[in-house]
Amino acid sequence: MSDDYYQDVLAQVAEHTRPHIGAGTVADYIPQLGGVDPNQFGFAVAAVDGRVYSVGDATTRFSMQSITKVFTLALVMSRRNHNVWTRVHREPSGSAFNSLYQLEFENGIARNPFINPGAIVVTDQLLSNTGDAFGALRDLLRTESGNPELDADPVTAASERDTGDRNRSLAYLMASFGNMRNPVPEVLDHYFRQCSITVSCEELALAGLLLARHGRRADGSDLLSRGEARRIMALMLTCGTYDSAGEFAFRIGLPCKSGVGGGMLAIVPGHYSLAAWGPGLGPKGNSVSAAVALEAFTDITSCSVF
């Protein structure tokens, strides 16, 4: 496809999304996120050949939040003989990303790695594997995003730590069932810093090429096998937008992962990685404008896994 084609598609996506910019509510349960200007919107497309096209506030950095869960899982799954699936299931939860109740009657095993308890277990496992879960994630994202200075935002990380009782509850409940390997405060320190990593749409789209290229890194080496990348994308489709996963599959038809910073990563396997960002969230914690933009993109281009 020509550069003109992509610019035309992006102009249409932006046009379609414009009335929805500012819609929704900025996440304020993490106080630092509550101060973000809601009237921002960015969208970026990275093609598997490395070309990037974007529109709007696509170079403005935002809090990556739960989108990091895709990349910590990729790092854990890249280890041969990992046994992470004995510690977390692979079913949609149908409940909120920080819900406690399923954990109690499912013996401390979270429904999937993309809700908070599942992701905390994945971070725990990455910590056991590497000794520095946050550092391993940051290194991966630096190389794949092309930004060697990509990093956590210490103010957001502190804000999460100060208000993180729900995540502490989840982690200690899992620990009570014997499903934590490292001390909870240490795991959560890595988890909070992980969530606070800042990234732009252009950087996130580039990082997502790891999946669009079926597990191949920017340097041409393979982090994941094709089958592992496929399984991560299956989890994104079924679990990546929490209790809206059905709605997102219906509207967009791509593996997606959202974060409460308003970002959304979507993958067209073998073709594109898409990153959309708008800080206003719907009731289930997914960006309103990012969803509209991704739906417009898939409608205009007919790119979908279906």
Q: Is 147 annotated as a binding residue?
A: no
Q: Are 280 and 25 in contact (CB under 8 A)?
A: yes
The residue from 53, 62, 71, 97 that contacts ligand GLN (CB under 6 A) is 97
Give 181 or 284: the residue with its C-beta nearer to ligand GLN.
284
Q: Are 197 and 141 in contact (CB under 8 A)?
A: yes
To ligand GLN, the closest distance from the beta carbon of 263 in angstroms equals: 9
Q: Is 112 annotated as a binding residue?
A: no
Q: Which of residues 61-90 bind ligand GLN (CB under 6 A)?
A: 65-66
Give 203 or 228: the residue with its C-beta nearer to ligand GLN.
203
The residue from 240, 255, 259, 262 that contacts ligand GLN (CB under 6 A) is 259
Q: Which residue is nearest to ligand GLN (CB)?
A: 66
Rounded CA-CA distance 179/187 in Å is 12
To ligand GLN, the closest distance from the beta carbon of 116 in angstroms equals: 5
Selection from 191, 225, 179, 207 nearest residue 266 by Cα: 207
Q: What is the pattern of x (binds ligand GLN, CB under 6 A) and - over residues 3-42?
A: ----------------------------------------
Q: Is residue 274 near ligand GLN by the rule CB under 6 A?
A: no
Q: Which of residues 162-181 bind ligand GLN (CB under 6 A)?
A: 167
Rounded CA-CA distance 3/231 in Å is 31
Q: Is residue 95 near ligand GLN by the rule CB under 6 A?
A: no
Q: Is 83 annotated as a binding residue?
A: no
- CA separation (Å) from 191 to 63, 133, 290? 13, 8, 24
Q: Which of residues 184-243 bind ligand GLN (CB under 6 A)?
A: 195
Q: How would you write 59-92 as a 3-class SS string?
A: CCCEECHHHHHHHHHHHHHCCCCCCHHHCECCCC
Q: Is 242 annotated as a binding residue?
A: yes
Q: Are 81 and 48 in contact (CB under 8 A)?
A: no
Rounded CA-CA distance 220/197 in Å is 25
Q: Are 282 and 288 in contact (CB under 8 A)?
A: yes
CA 163 to chain centre: 21
Q: Which two tokens stand for residue 177?
A: 């069932």
- CA separation (Å) from 136 to 105, 173, 208, 289? 33, 26, 16, 31
To ligand GLN, the closest distance from the beta carbon of 260 in angstroms equals: 4
Number of shown-chain residues binding ligand GLN (CB under 6 A): 11
Q: Is residue 262 near ligand GLN by the rule CB under 6 A?
A: no
Q: Please enumerate, by residue number, every residue annotated as part of a binding site.
A: 66, 116, 160, 167, 191, 242, 260
Q: Which residues of this chain interact with ligand GLN, rule CB under 6 A?
A: 65-66, 97-98, 116, 160, 167, 195, 259-260, 285
